[in-house]
Amino acid sequence: MRKMEGALPHRYPFRMIDRMVELEPGRRAVAVKAVSLEDFFLEGHFPHDPCMPEALIVEALAQAGGIAMLSAKEEGIGFLVKVEEMQFHKTVRPGAQLTLSAEVEFSFGEMAKVRVKAESEGKTVAQGIVVLAAGKR
């Protein structure tokens, strides 16, 4: 099994995962992102009412999905190919801790359909499906 760094090549400022909580290689991952006023995206989104952009919540979920999908493989990186049925239920503010869950529903070749969910304080923030492709560096 690869370490998170191997399955997730992203680095600051675009790594949206702070730590892994659970991992079933090739099947499932649970990760955490602590949203802080120090996060680069809060400076301009929005200065007087900061919140995490929905696009970056999707990116965080896709990164968790990539770890779930690729952690059982020796190499490769995940690319977000498609977002399906994504719903947003709650605004994410500084101080929130996002729990990012990703479960591989099925794989086909170098692609996988992954059901994802972001939660904060026990409430669903976003949920949907991402399609990921494994590529080479």
Q: Which residues are catalytic?
A: 45
Instruction: Enter the DSSP assignment of 98.
Output: E
Chain position carrying tokens 């399955």: 7
Task: Find the distance separating the first CA and the last CA of the chain, reported in whole Å.
Answer: 18
5 conformational bin, left if phi > 0, alpha if psi -120 to 50, beta if neither: alpha
Chain position carrying tokens 């909580």: 21
- H helical segments located in the chain: 4-7, 54-70
